[in-house]
C-alpha cells in the first residue's frame, strides 16, 4: 500500500509540475508566434498560429535594430567579465582556503556579504567617474566582474576545500611557489566550477539592462537587451517587431542554457557537497 501511495503521489507531483511548466511556456509561445505575425494580427496576443508567416520581421529587426553590433558588444562585455571574475575569485578563494587564519575568515565573510548587500548605483557612478572610466565598456566589465564576485567566491571556496593540501605540500617541497601551485595544480582541478561560474556570469550579464543604461552613455556600445529598449521606443505599436527582437535577444542565452545546464548543475553540486 505504501509503495502504491508513493507512486500516486509522484504522478500527482509530475502532473502539477507539467501544468506549471505549461503556464511558464505560454508567454514564450505568444512571443514566438507573435514575432511571425503582422502588426495587426499580433494585437490579439493569442496562441493562434500566424495566417501567413512573416519571416521579413526578423530581417527588418536585424537591419534596423543594429543587432549585430549589439551582439558583439554583449559578447565582449560578458566574455571579459567572466574571465576577470574567474581569475580573480578563484585566486582569492585559494588564498582564503589555504591560509587558515582569522583574517582569511573575515575576508570570506566580507565576500559573502556581497550576496546580501545591494549595489548603490549613485555611489558607483561617482567612483567610476573619479577613476575616469565612466561611459566606457571597461566600466561595465569591471562592475559586472565585481557584482558576481560574492557568488563565485562562495562556489570556489567550497570546491577548493575538497582538494587535498598534500598536493600543495609536495609542490612546495619541490621548490614551487604559491603562484606555481595555484596555476599548475589547483587551476586544472577547477574546470567544473570554472564552467559553472562562466555560465552563471554570462547569463546574469547578458540579460541585464540596468548597468548598461546607467554606465554606457553611447548607444553604439549598448548590448542586445538595451537594443530592445531602444527598438521599443521606435516601434511601440509594432508588437510583431518587438517580439522578433525579444526572440533574437533571448536566443543566445537559451542555446547556452540548453547545452550547458549539466555543467551548471554539476558545478553547483560539486561546490555544495565537497564544501
The confidence score (pLDDT) of residue 274 equals 46
The confidence score (pLDDT) of residue 3 equals 61
Contact between 140 and 215 under an 8 Å Cβ cutoff? The reply is yes
Where do we find the cell 547569463? Answer: 203
Q: Looking at domain 66-274, which of 2.60.120.380, 1.10.8.50, 3.90.190.20, 1.10.3720.10 is its CATH number?
A: 1.10.3720.10
CA distance 55 to 32: 12
CA distance 193 to 197: 6
Average pLDDT over residues 69-94: 90
Q: Where are the domains of the chain?
A: 2-56, 66-274
Percent of the chain whose pLDDT exceeds 90:
7
CA distance 256 to 240: 25
pLDDT digits (tens, 9 = 90+) for 92-120: 888 888 887 788 788 888 887 777 777 77
Sign, CA torsion 194/127/204/80 = negative
pLDDT digits (tens, 9 = 90+) for 4-36: 667 777 777 888 887 777 777 888 888 888 889
The confidence score (pLDDT) of residue 83 equals 92
pTM here is: 0.79
pLDDT digits (tens, 9 = 90+) for 187-226: 888 888 888 888 888 888 888 888 888 888 887 888 888 8
Contact between 200 and 47 under an 8 Å Cβ cutoff? The reply is no
Average pLDDT over residues 75-96: 91
Cβ-Cβ contacts under 8 Å for 129 (sequence gap 6 or more): none
For residue 273, pLDDT beyond 70? no
Amino acid at each position: 500500500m505504501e509503495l502504491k501511495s508513493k507512486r500516486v503521489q509522484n504522478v500527482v507531483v509530475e502532473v502539477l509540475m507539467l501544468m506549471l511548466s505549461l503556464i511558464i511556456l505560454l508567454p514564450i509561445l505568444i512571443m514566438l508566434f507573435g514575432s511571425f505575425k503582422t502588426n495587426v494580427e499580433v494585437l490579439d496576443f493569442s496562441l493562434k498560429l500566424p495566417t501567413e508567416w512573416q519571416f521579413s520581421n526578423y530581417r527588418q529587426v536585424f537591419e534596423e535594430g543594429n543587432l549585430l553590433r549589439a551582439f558583439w558588444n554583449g559578447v565582449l562585455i560578458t566574455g571579459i567579465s567572466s574571465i576577470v571574475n574567474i581569475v580573480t575569485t578563484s585566486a582569492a578563494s585559494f588564498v582564503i582556503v589555504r591560509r587558515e587564519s582569522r583574517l582569511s575568515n573575515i575576508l570570506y565573510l566580507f565576500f559573502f556579504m556581497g550576496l546580501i548587500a545591494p549595489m548603490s548605483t549613485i555611489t558607483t557612478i561617482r567612483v567610476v567617474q573619479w577613476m575616469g572610466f565612466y561611459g566606457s565598456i571597461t566600466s561595465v566589465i569591471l562592475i559586472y566582474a565585481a557584482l558576481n564576485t560574492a557568488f563565485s567566491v562562495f562556489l570556489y571556496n567550497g570546491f577548493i576545500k575538497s582538494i587535498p593540501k598534500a598536493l600543495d605540500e609536495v609542490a612546495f617541497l619541490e621548490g614551487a611557489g604559491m603562484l606555481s601551485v595555484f596555476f599548475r595544480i589547483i587551476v586544472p582541478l577547477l574546470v567544473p566550477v570554472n564552467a559553472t561560474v562562466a555560465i552563471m556570469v554570462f547569463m546574469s550579464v547578458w540579460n541585464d539592462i540596468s548597468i548598461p543604461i546607467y554606465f554606457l552613455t553611447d548607444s553604439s556600445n549598448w548590448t542586445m537587451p538595451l537594443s530592445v529598449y531602444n527598438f521599443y521606443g521606435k516601434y511601440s505599436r509594432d508588437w510583431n517587431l518587438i517580439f522578433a527582437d525579444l526572440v533574437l535577444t533571448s536566443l543566445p542565452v537559451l542555446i547556452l542554457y540548453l547545452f550547458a545546464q549539466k555543467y551548471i548543475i554539476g558545478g553547483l553540486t560539486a561546490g555544495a557537497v565537497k564544501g
